[in-house]
Structure 1
Protein backbone atom coordinates (compact mmCIF):
# COMPACT_ATOMS: atom_id res chain seq x y z
CA UNK A 1 0.00 0.00 0.00
CA UNK A 2 1.38 3.35 -0.91
CA UNK A 3 1.87 6.28 1.44
CA UNK A 4 -0.47 8.33 -0.76
CA UNK A 5 -3.25 5.75 -0.37
CA UNK A 6 -2.75 5.68 3.41
CA UNK A 7 -3.06 9.45 3.58
CA UNK A 8 -6.11 9.50 1.29
CA UNK A 9 -8.03 6.88 3.28
CA UNK A 10 -7.13 8.51 6.60
CA UNK A 11 -8.35 11.93 5.39
CA UNK A 12 -11.59 10.50 4.01
CA UNK A 13 -12.08 8.42 7.14
CA UNK A 14 -11.79 11.50 9.34
CA UNK A 15 -14.38 13.26 7.19
CA UNK A 16 -16.87 10.42 6.76
CA UNK A 17 -16.60 8.00 9.69
CA UNK A 18 -19.44 9.70 11.61
CA UNK A 19 -21.64 9.61 8.50
CA UNK A 20 -20.79 5.96 7.97
CA UNK A 21 -21.62 5.19 11.61
CA UNK A 22 -25.00 6.92 11.22
CA UNK A 23 -25.59 4.96 8.01
CA UNK A 24 -24.83 1.68 9.79
CA UNK A 25 -26.97 2.50 12.83
CA UNK A 26 -29.89 3.40 10.57
CA UNK A 27 -29.80 -0.14 9.23
CA UNK A 28 -29.04 -2.28 12.26
CA UNK A 29 -30.34 -0.15 15.17
CA UNK A 30 -27.70 -1.39 17.64
CA UNK A 31 -24.94 1.10 18.46
CA UNK A 32 -22.32 -1.35 19.79
CA UNK A 33 -22.68 -3.62 16.74
CA UNK A 34 -22.60 -0.56 14.48
CA UNK A 35 -19.33 0.56 16.04
CA UNK A 36 -17.89 -2.93 15.50
CA UNK A 37 -18.98 -2.86 11.87
CA UNK A 38 -17.42 0.58 11.44
CA UNK A 39 -14.11 -0.82 12.72
CA UNK A 40 -14.38 -3.70 10.22
CA UNK A 41 -15.06 -1.21 7.43
CA UNK A 42 -11.98 0.77 8.40
CA UNK A 43 -9.79 -2.33 8.42
CA UNK A 44 -11.23 -3.60 5.14
CA UNK A 45 -10.75 -0.21 3.49
CA UNK A 46 -7.13 0.00 4.66
CA UNK A 47 -6.41 -3.57 3.57
CA UNK A 48 -8.13 -3.21 0.19
CA UNK A 49 -7.37 0.39 -0.82
CA UNK A 50 -5.07 -0.86 -3.57
CA UNK A 51 -8.13 -2.42 -5.28
CA UNK A 52 -9.72 1.01 -5.67
CA UNK A 53 -9.40 2.27 -9.24
CA UNK A 54 -7.45 5.52 -9.60
CA UNK A 55 -10.43 7.41 -11.04
CA UNK A 56 -13.01 5.97 -8.59
CA UNK A 57 -14.83 7.98 -5.96
CA UNK A 58 -13.31 7.03 -2.59
CA UNK A 59 -16.41 8.03 -0.61
CA UNK A 60 -18.72 5.92 -2.81
CA UNK A 61 -16.28 3.04 -2.42
CA UNK A 62 -16.35 3.43 1.40
CA UNK A 63 -20.16 3.23 1.32
CA UNK A 64 -19.94 0.08 -0.81
CA UNK A 65 -17.54 -1.49 1.69
CA UNK A 66 -19.92 -0.44 4.48
CA UNK A 67 -22.98 -1.93 2.76
CA UNK A 68 -21.09 -5.19 2.26
CA UNK A 69 -20.10 -5.26 5.94
CA UNK A 70 -23.74 -4.68 6.97
CA UNK A 71 -24.83 -7.53 4.69
CA UNK A 72 -22.17 -9.78 6.26
CA UNK A 73 -23.47 -8.83 9.71
CA UNK A 74 -27.03 -9.89 8.85
CA UNK A 75 -25.85 -13.04 7.07
CA UNK A 76 -23.81 -14.09 10.12
CA UNK A 77 -26.64 -13.23 12.50
CA UNK A 78 -29.07 -15.38 10.50
CA UNK A 79 -26.55 -18.25 10.32
CA UNK A 80 -26.04 -18.12 14.08
CA UNK A 81 -29.79 -18.13 14.72
CA UNK A 82 -30.12 -21.21 12.53
CA UNK A 83 -27.32 -22.90 14.47
CA UNK A 84 -28.89 -22.30 17.87
CA UNK A 85 -32.28 -23.54 16.69
CA UNK A 86 -30.66 -26.71 15.32
CA UNK A 87 -29.16 -27.28 18.76
CA UNK A 88 -32.41 -26.89 20.71
CA UNK A 89 -35.13 -28.01 18.24
CA UNK A 90 -35.74 -31.60 17.19
CA UNK A 91 -35.24 -32.53 13.54
CA UNK A 92 -38.94 -33.32 13.06
CA UNK A 93 -39.97 -29.79 14.03
CA UNK A 94 -40.97 -28.02 10.84
CA UNK A 95 -38.29 -25.56 9.69
CA UNK A 96 -40.99 -22.97 9.01
CA UNK A 97 -42.10 -23.18 12.65
CA UNK A 98 -38.52 -22.67 13.80
CA UNK A 99 -38.23 -19.55 11.65
CA UNK A 100 -41.54 -18.33 13.10
CA UNK A 101 -40.08 -18.71 16.58
CA UNK A 102 -37.14 -16.42 15.78
CA UNK A 103 -39.30 -13.52 16.89
CA UNK A 104 -38.98 -14.97 20.39
CA UNK A 105 -35.32 -15.98 20.30
CA UNK A 106 -33.71 -12.63 21.10
CA UNK A 107 -36.36 -11.59 23.68
CA UNK A 108 -35.89 -14.97 25.38
CA UNK A 109 -32.11 -14.54 25.38
CA UNK A 110 -32.46 -11.03 26.80
CA UNK A 111 -34.61 -12.41 29.65
CA UNK A 112 -31.88 -14.83 30.78
CA UNK A 113 -29.91 -14.05 33.94
CA UNK A 114 -26.84 -11.93 33.10
CA UNK A 115 -24.12 -14.58 33.20
CA UNK A 116 -26.13 -16.91 30.91
CA UNK A 117 -27.32 -14.15 28.61
CA UNK A 118 -23.74 -12.98 28.06
CA UNK A 119 -22.38 -16.39 27.07
CA UNK A 120 -25.40 -17.27 24.92
CA UNK A 121 -25.09 -13.99 23.02
CA UNK A 122 -21.36 -14.52 22.50
CA UNK A 123 -21.68 -18.19 21.64
CA UNK A 124 -24.93 -18.47 19.73
CA UNK A 125 -25.49 -15.05 18.20
CA UNK A 126 -21.93 -13.79 17.67
CA UNK A 127 -20.64 -17.29 16.92
CA UNK A 128 -17.58 -17.21 19.19
CA UNK A 129 -15.96 -20.49 20.19
CA UNK A 130 -16.10 -21.47 23.85
CA UNK A 131 -12.36 -20.87 24.32
CA UNK A 132 -12.68 -17.39 22.81
CA UNK A 133 -15.48 -16.60 25.26
CA UNK A 134 -13.43 -17.95 28.17
CA UNK A 135 -10.51 -15.74 27.16
CA UNK A 136 -12.72 -12.71 26.67
CA UNK A 137 -14.54 -13.11 29.98
CA UNK A 138 -11.46 -14.36 31.84
CA UNK A 139 -13.27 -17.51 32.97
CA UNK A 140 -12.38 -21.17 32.71
CA UNK A 141 -13.41 -23.14 29.66
CA UNK A 142 -15.46 -25.49 31.82
CA UNK A 143 -17.35 -22.54 33.34
CA UNK A 144 -18.23 -21.28 29.85
CA UNK A 145 -19.34 -24.72 28.65
CA UNK A 146 -21.49 -25.10 31.76
CA UNK A 147 -23.10 -21.68 31.27
CA UNK A 148 -23.80 -22.36 27.58
CA UNK A 149 -25.47 -25.68 28.42
CA UNK A 150 -27.51 -24.12 31.24
CA UNK A 151 -28.39 -21.09 29.08
CA UNK A 152 -29.65 -23.38 26.30
CA UNK A 153 -31.72 -25.29 28.83
CA UNK A 154 -33.23 -22.03 30.08
CA UNK A 155 -34.04 -21.05 26.49
CA UNK A 156 -35.80 -24.38 25.96
CA UNK A 157 -37.86 -23.75 29.09
CA UNK A 158 -38.81 -20.31 27.77
CA UNK A 159 -39.91 -21.78 24.43
CA UNK A 160 -41.98 -24.39 26.27
CA UNK A 161 -43.62 -21.77 28.48
CA UNK A 162 -44.13 -19.02 25.91
CA UNK A 163 -44.49 -20.84 22.61
CA UNK A 164 -46.01 -24.09 23.89
CA UNK A 165 -43.37 -26.40 22.46
CA UNK A 166 -42.66 -29.65 24.28
CA UNK A 167 -39.33 -31.30 25.08
CA UNK A 168 -38.93 -34.65 23.34
CA UNK A 169 -37.14 -37.79 24.55
CA UNK A 170 -33.82 -36.41 23.20
CA UNK A 171 -34.16 -33.20 25.20
CA UNK A 172 -34.93 -31.07 22.14
CA UNK A 173 -37.93 -28.87 21.45
CA UNK A 174 -40.68 -30.38 19.32
CA UNK A 175 -44.24 -29.59 18.31
CA UNK A 176 -46.16 -26.69 16.87
CA UNK A 177 -45.69 -23.16 18.26
CA UNK A 178 -48.56 -21.35 19.92
CA UNK A 179 -46.66 -18.31 21.09
CA UNK A 180 -48.05 -16.07 23.79
CA UNK A 181 -46.14 -12.99 22.61
CA UNK A 182 -48.41 -10.64 20.66
CA UNK A 183 -45.65 -9.75 18.19
CA UNK A 184 -45.28 -13.38 17.06
CA UNK A 185 -48.72 -14.01 15.52
CA UNK A 186 -48.31 -17.79 15.11
Structure 2
Protein backbone atom coordinates (compact mmCIF):
# COMPACT_ATOMS: atom_id res chain seq x y z
CA UNK A 1 0.00 0.00 0.00
CA UNK A 2 1.24 3.49 -0.84
CA UNK A 3 0.95 6.72 1.11
CA UNK A 4 -1.06 8.27 -1.74
CA UNK A 5 -3.63 5.45 -1.57
CA UNK A 6 -3.95 5.91 2.20
CA UNK A 7 -4.37 9.65 1.64
CA UNK A 8 -7.07 9.12 -0.99
CA UNK A 9 -9.00 6.63 1.15
CA UNK A 10 -8.71 8.11 4.64
CA UNK A 11 -7.63 11.75 4.71
CA UNK A 12 -11.05 13.35 5.38
CA UNK A 13 -12.16 10.77 7.90
CA UNK A 14 -8.82 10.92 9.70
CA UNK A 15 -8.76 14.73 9.83
CA UNK A 16 -12.26 14.95 11.32
CA UNK A 17 -11.43 12.17 13.78
CA UNK A 18 -8.49 14.24 15.04
CA UNK A 19 -10.46 17.51 15.02
CA UNK A 20 -13.21 15.92 17.08
CA UNK A 21 -10.63 14.88 19.71
CA UNK A 22 -8.74 18.17 20.02
CA UNK A 23 -11.46 20.70 19.08
CA UNK A 24 -8.85 23.08 17.67
CA UNK A 25 -8.18 23.48 13.94
CA UNK A 26 -4.53 24.48 14.29
CA UNK A 27 -3.77 21.57 16.61
CA UNK A 28 -5.73 19.20 14.36
CA UNK A 29 -3.69 20.32 11.35
CA UNK A 30 -0.42 19.74 13.20
CA UNK A 31 -1.49 16.31 14.46
CA UNK A 32 -2.82 15.39 11.00
CA UNK A 33 0.49 16.34 9.41
CA UNK A 34 2.52 14.43 12.00
CA UNK A 35 0.24 11.43 11.57
CA UNK A 36 0.84 11.31 7.82
CA UNK A 37 4.57 11.76 8.29
CA UNK A 38 4.61 8.74 10.59
CA UNK A 39 2.38 6.77 8.22
CA UNK A 40 4.75 7.47 5.33
CA UNK A 41 7.85 6.73 7.39
CA UNK A 42 6.47 3.48 8.86
CA UNK A 43 4.51 2.20 5.86
CA UNK A 44 6.91 -0.73 5.31
CA UNK A 45 5.97 -1.98 8.78
CA UNK A 46 2.31 -2.41 7.76
CA UNK A 47 2.07 -6.13 7.18
CA UNK A 48 -1.57 -6.58 6.14
CA UNK A 49 -3.31 -4.07 3.92
CA UNK A 50 -6.74 -4.93 5.38
CA UNK A 51 -5.52 -3.64 8.77
CA UNK A 52 -4.44 -0.29 7.34
CA UNK A 53 -7.39 1.68 8.71
CA UNK A 54 -6.92 0.46 12.28
CA UNK A 55 -3.18 1.07 12.04
CA UNK A 56 -3.65 4.60 10.69
CA UNK A 57 -6.17 5.56 13.35
CA UNK A 58 -3.93 4.15 16.07
CA UNK A 59 -1.14 6.41 14.87
CA UNK A 60 -3.57 9.36 14.96
CA UNK A 61 -4.65 8.43 18.51
CA UNK A 62 -1.02 8.26 19.61
CA UNK A 63 -0.25 11.62 18.02
CA UNK A 64 -3.29 13.13 19.73
CA UNK A 65 -2.13 11.75 23.08
CA UNK A 66 1.34 13.18 22.42
CA UNK A 67 -0.24 16.56 21.71
CA UNK A 68 -2.19 16.54 24.99
CA UNK A 69 0.85 15.38 26.93
CA UNK A 70 2.90 18.20 25.43
CA UNK A 71 0.16 20.72 26.25
CA UNK A 72 -0.02 19.57 29.85
CA UNK A 73 3.67 20.41 30.36
CA UNK A 74 2.80 24.11 30.17
CA UNK A 75 0.12 23.95 32.83
CA UNK A 76 1.48 24.73 36.25
CA UNK A 77 1.13 22.29 39.10
CA UNK A 78 -2.04 22.79 41.07
CA UNK A 79 -1.48 23.15 44.78
CA UNK A 80 -4.59 21.58 46.23
CA UNK A 81 -5.39 23.05 49.59
CA UNK A 82 -8.73 21.66 50.71
CA UNK A 83 -9.46 24.75 52.82
CA UNK A 84 -9.22 27.27 49.98
CA UNK A 85 -12.75 26.80 48.60
CA UNK A 86 -14.28 27.49 52.01
CA UNK A 87 -12.07 30.54 52.60
CA UNK A 88 -12.84 31.82 49.14
CA UNK A 89 -16.54 32.13 49.91
CA UNK A 90 -16.47 33.11 53.59
CA UNK A 91 -16.71 36.80 52.78
CA UNK A 92 -19.96 36.23 50.89
CA UNK A 93 -22.92 37.24 52.97
CA UNK A 94 -25.04 34.37 54.31
CA UNK A 95 -22.98 31.72 52.50
CA UNK A 96 -22.80 29.31 55.45
CA UNK A 97 -26.46 29.83 56.29
CA UNK A 98 -27.60 29.08 52.75
CA UNK A 99 -25.41 25.98 52.50
CA UNK A 100 -26.73 24.69 55.83
CA UNK A 101 -30.33 25.37 54.75
CA UNK A 102 -30.02 23.21 51.63
CA UNK A 103 -31.85 19.88 51.70
CA UNK A 104 -29.43 17.17 52.86
CA UNK A 105 -29.05 15.49 49.44
CA UNK A 106 -27.92 18.78 47.89
CA UNK A 107 -25.85 19.96 50.85
CA UNK A 108 -23.85 16.69 50.81
CA UNK A 109 -22.70 17.05 47.23
CA UNK A 110 -21.92 20.76 47.58
CA UNK A 111 -19.84 20.17 50.72
CA UNK A 112 -18.01 17.17 49.30
CA UNK A 113 -17.18 18.81 45.97
CA UNK A 114 -16.76 22.50 46.72
CA UNK A 115 -15.63 22.48 50.33
CA UNK A 116 -13.74 19.19 50.65
CA UNK A 117 -12.54 19.30 47.05
CA UNK A 118 -13.55 15.79 45.96
CA UNK A 119 -14.11 14.93 42.32
CA UNK A 120 -17.67 14.31 41.17
CA UNK A 121 -17.01 10.65 40.34
CA UNK A 122 -15.58 10.10 43.84
CA UNK A 123 -18.64 11.73 45.39
CA UNK A 124 -20.86 9.42 43.33
CA UNK A 125 -19.02 6.38 44.70
CA UNK A 126 -19.06 7.67 48.27
CA UNK A 127 -22.81 8.39 48.18
CA UNK A 128 -23.64 5.28 46.15
CA UNK A 129 -25.34 7.23 43.35
CA UNK A 130 -24.63 7.72 39.66
CA UNK A 131 -22.38 10.48 38.33
CA UNK A 132 -25.37 11.90 36.47
CA UNK A 133 -27.30 12.09 39.74
CA UNK A 134 -24.41 13.99 41.35
CA UNK A 135 -24.45 16.49 38.47
CA UNK A 136 -28.19 16.96 38.77
CA UNK A 137 -27.90 17.56 42.51
CA UNK A 138 -25.16 20.11 41.96
CA UNK A 139 -27.25 21.97 39.40
CA UNK A 140 -30.32 21.97 41.64
CA UNK A 141 -28.29 23.08 44.67
CA UNK A 142 -26.79 25.93 42.67
CA UNK A 143 -30.25 26.99 41.50
CA UNK A 144 -31.47 27.05 45.11
CA UNK A 145 -28.40 29.03 46.24
CA UNK A 146 -28.75 31.54 43.40
CA UNK A 147 -32.39 32.09 44.28
CA UNK A 148 -31.56 32.62 47.97
CA UNK A 149 -28.74 35.06 47.21
CA UNK A 150 -30.98 36.97 44.86
CA UNK A 151 -33.91 37.14 47.30
CA UNK A 152 -32.04 37.82 50.53
CA UNK A 153 -28.83 39.56 49.64
CA UNK A 154 -29.94 41.29 46.46
CA UNK A 155 -26.92 40.10 44.50
CA UNK A 156 -27.28 40.13 40.75
CA UNK A 157 -26.10 37.62 38.19
CA UNK A 158 -24.02 38.29 35.10
CA UNK A 159 -24.70 36.70 31.72
CA UNK A 160 -22.77 33.58 32.83
CA UNK A 161 -24.87 33.15 35.98
CA UNK A 162 -22.13 34.30 38.37
CA UNK A 163 -22.79 36.51 41.40
CA UNK A 164 -21.87 40.15 40.91
CA UNK A 165 -22.34 43.32 42.88
CA UNK A 166 -22.34 44.09 46.56
CA UNK A 167 -24.53 42.57 49.22
CA UNK A 168 -27.63 44.45 50.25
CA UNK A 169 -28.63 41.82 52.79
CA UNK A 170 -31.72 42.17 54.93
CA UNK A 171 -30.43 39.56 57.43
CA UNK A 172 -26.97 41.06 57.91
CA UNK A 173 -28.41 44.54 58.44
CA UNK A 174 -30.47 43.30 61.38
CA UNK A 175 -27.62 41.36 63.02
- Structure 2 length as normaliser, TM-score? 0.48
Tell me the TM-score normalised to structure 1 length: 0.46
